[in-house]
Amino acid sequence: MGKNKKSVVLGVTGSIAAYKACEIIGALRKEGFDVDVILTKEGAEFITPLTLTTLSGNKVTTGMFEIPEDWSPVHTSLAQKADLVLIAPATANVIGKLSSGLCDDILTCVVFAAKAPVLIAPAMNDIMYANKIVQENIKKLTKAGYNFVGPVKGHLACGCEGVGHIARVEDIVKQVKRLIT
């Protein structure tokens, strides 16, 4: 990585929208960002570490206790490297964990250890997104300084149209650039 490249740590969670991470990585790299991916256990049910490694050009982190190439605790080394932490897609689960201060996987640990801005791109069923608890969690995180992009109205995995579709890749990249350049 060049010294002038900005670093984005991309968290990919367990949503059907995980495939969009491929497009996001490509768009970020095209803009000159270095991208390190954290793939949650649930995210790995939708997309593979090999795919994300190939696209990002960096080893994908999938667990808390992986031994990094240069020894240092993974959650703090990734957190220190990050100019921005992006969670895309972000499920109701990860939003709830962050809102509650739960730190039980590598992604949530990196978020809490990072001094960098955090950008969250929710993706979920429209009824889940509209749920009062999810909306309260988003308000709580926004008040704490977290940034959100989307979701937007679109075709959802359940077959309906509704607000819960992950934001357009272009809009996510625009927000990344706004927050760190």
158 is a catalytic site residue: yes
pTM value?
0.92
User: What pLDDT score does 2 carry?
Assistant: 44
Q: How much is the pLDDT for 130?
A: 95
Instruction: Supply the range of the domain harboring residue 45.
Output: 7-180
In a domain, 142, yes or no: yes
Kindly name the residue from 22, 103, 109, 158 that is annotated as catalytic.
158
In a domain, residue 115? The reply is yes
CATH number at 78 reads 3.40.50.1950
Q: Distance between CA atoms of 74 and 84, rounded to whole angstroms?
A: 16
CA distance 82 to 13: 18
How many domains would you assign to the chain?
1
104 contacts 97 by C-beta, under 8 angstroms:
yes
Question: Does 2 fall in a domain?
Answer: no
pLDDT in tens, the chain (181 residues): 445 689 999 999 999 999 999 999 999 999 999 999 999 999 999 999 999 999 999 999 998 766 555 545 555 778 889 999 999 999 999 999 999 999 999 999 999 999 999 999 999 999 999 999 999 999 999 999 999 999 988 877 777 787 888 999 999 999 999 999 7
Domain assignment present for residue 1? The answer is no
